[in-house]
Amino acid sequence: MRRMLEPRFPSIEFIELEDGERGLEHFRSADWFTADQADLETVLISDINMPRVNGFQFLESLSDLMIQRGIHPDSIRVAVLSSSDAWSDRERASEIPIVDECCCKPIDSDKLQRIVGEGTASPAA
C-alpha cells in the first residue's frame, strides 16, 4: 500500500504498524493526537483482520480515546479494509463513529489514492 501512495503523496508521512495493539499504543502515546491539534490531516486505513487486537477492537478503542481527548470523529478520515465481503462486517464497521468508508480487498490504487486524497491536501501532480 505504501509503495502505491508515497510517489503520489510525497509530502505525507506514512506510518505502518503491524497490528491493532501497536496502533493503539501509537495513538495513546501521540502528543499531537489532541483536540487542539485536530486540524492535522490524518488518514487512517485499517484492516479488520489483524493479530492480537482486530480492526473492530482497534477502531472502537480509538473512537473511545478520541472522545476522551475531545477529538471530533470527523477530525480524521478512517477507511476500513476487509477481505470479507460479508454485509455484517460492513455494517459493524459503519456503526463505529469514526469510520468513513469500508472497502473490500483487494483495493486498487485509484480508490486508495481517492481515500487518502479526500483526507489530505491535494496530491502532487
65-69, 108-112, 119-123, range with greatest mean pLDDT: 65-69
**Which residues have CB under 8 Å from 36's CB, separation 6+?**
none
Whether residue 93 is predicted with pLDDT greater than 70 in this model: the reply is yes
Segment 25-74, tens digit of pLDDT? 999 988 777 777 655 578 899 999 888 899 999 999 999 999 998 888 88
> Quick one: pLDDT at residue 122?
46
Q: What CATH number has the domain bearing residue 22?
A: 3.40.50.2300
Separation between Cα atoms, residue 113 and residue 118, nearest integer Å? 8
Whose cell is 493503539? That residue is: 24
Residue 26 lies in a domain: yes
Cα–Cα nearest to 41, from 64, 71, 7, 12 = 12
Backbone angles phi, psi at 120, to 5 degrees: -135, 180
**Domain range spanning residue 33?**
2-118
The number of distinct structural domains making up the chain is 1
Cα–Cα nearest to 1, from 121, 103, 74 = 103
